[in-house]
Amino acid sequence: DAGVIQSPRHEVTEMGQEVTLRCKPISGHDYLFWYRQTMMRGLELLIYFNNNVPIDDSGMPEDRFSAKMPNASFSTLKIQPSEPRDSAVYFCASSEARSWNTEAFFGQGTRLTVV
């Protein structure tokens, strides 16, 4: 398997624009996680899905952020409108999560810069 695939790797956009980040999890994994990494706050869990259903979105910072998982092989994280403080590296991860000792596999991340 190619691992978790994220696109794009880098995104530069202007404030107010819509941004869509994409993720393809590892085939057969039931859980998908979106994390955000910044110097100030470290790695924060934004939302996660189980079998395409959002389970916990309490980490989503505000209504400008939304995430979907229309099928088992694709998820998106959308920011509309984007703001400079959204600049960060966004990671997608997936896991089998049969139990809580199962590791998560991470993509290479999308570095978002909002100017």
Q: Which residues bind another protein (CB under 8 A)?
A: 4, 31, 33, 35, 41-43, 45, 48, 50, 55-56, 91, 93, 97, 99-109
Structure tokens at 25: 């999890």
What tokens appear for 34 in the block?
């979106």
**Rounded to 5°, angle at Cα 46 from 112 and 50:** 120
Give the nearer residue to another protein in terms of CB position, either 48 or 65: 48
C-beta of 55: minimal distance to another protein in Å?
5
The phi, psi pair for 85, rounded to 5°, reads -70, -5
4 vs 79 by CB, closer to another protein: 4
Q: Is 46 exposed, middle or buried (0-12, 13-18, 19+ CB in 10 A)?
A: buried
Q: Taking the complex as a whole, how short is the minimal distance between the CB of residue 109 and another protein, in angstroms? A: 5
Closest approach of Cβ 68 to another protein, in Å?
Answer: 18
Residue 59 or 81 having the CB closest to another protein: 59
Residue 105 tokens read as 């596999």
